[in-house]
Amino acid sequence: MCGLTIEQFWSITWKEYTIYQEAYVRKELAEWQRTRRLGYIMYIANCDKKNIVSEQNWHPLANDEKEDKGLPMSNEDVKRTLSMYGKT
């Protein structure tokens, strides 16, 4: 229960509980980020330098920002790009 005792849990309001719960989740995610960072440092030190991946790709976490891959190219854009290089 977010690090609260039973007495504390029953003596607080729902809003206070929500604040405790959010703080607990943030603390847990920070600990996972710390653990990932330590593991990633060991990975970097012991892996082949040609095959290094980013920390987020090595071990993704729930709060990582997703990479924006943009929109796929339309058929017209593909044709225009190929025509610029003389391929039709």
Residue 72 lies in a domain: no
* Inside any domain, residue 75: no
Examine residue 83 and state whether it is found in any structural domain, yes or no: no
To the nearest whole percent, how much of the chain has pLDDT over 90?
41
- Residue 8 in domain: yes
pLDDT 10s digits, 6-20: 999 999 999 999 999
Parent domain of 31: 1-63
- Do the domain assignments include residue 85? no
- Burial class of residue 51, CB neighbours in 10 A (0-12, 13-18, 19+): exposed
Domain contains 24? yes
Is 76 within a domain? Answer: no
pLDDT band for 1, please (50, 70, 90 cuts).
low
Q: Residue 2 — pLDDT band, cuts 50, 70, 90? A: confident
Neighbours of 49 (CB within 10 A): 6
Domain count, the chain: 1
Q: What is the DSSP string of 19-75?
A: HHHHHHHHHHHHHHHHHHHHHHHHHHHHS-GGG---HHHHS--TTSPPP---PPPPH
